[in-house]
Amino acid sequence: MVHATEKNFNTSIGLPLTLLLQTEKHTLSILEMGANQPGDISYLCRISKPTHGLITNIAPAHLEGFGTIEEVAKEKGELFQSLEDGISFVNQADDRIKNLSITGDKISYGLSPDCDFPADIHQEKDGTL
């Protein structure tokens, strides 16, 4: 059974609450991590000890806590840094994500045929994908 972050429980308060609700029947946890300031992701990684990580995007959210998009990228990159013995899933279509430093294994996905898992999008005659 899969255990996952509920609502917006992705902070230094919400993520530990999510972990406390995990039971023996859960064989997998999918945890969302959010950051409002430098150090948040490192802290959440120390608490949750992830084995796999995926960064969906790096966008100018929470700039008030970071100042620049580059600082947001650096903070989110702490997830990949925590995966020394794990796997980082890297979106090759996002330059900020694909340029992050990775300490463990890497699996890439995206639009490029050079990815480990390239997107395979087909448009039907009626225009649907």
In a domain, 35, yes or no: no
**pTM across the whole model:** 0.89
**Which residue's entry shows tokens 């980082």?**
88
Each residue's pLDDT tens digit, 3-32? 999 999 999 999 999 999 999 999 999 999
Domain range for residue 95? 54-118
In a domain, 98, yes or no: yes
In a domain, 61, yes or no: yes
Each residue's pLDDT tens digit, 26-58? 999 999 999 999 999 999 999 999 999 999 999
Question: What total number of domains does the chain contain?
Answer: 1
In a domain, 68, yes or no: yes
In a domain, 5, yes or no: no
- List alpha helices for the chain, DSSP H: 14-20, 40-48, 63-66, 69-76, 78-81, 95-98
How many angstroms separate the CA atoms of 88 and 120, rounded? 21
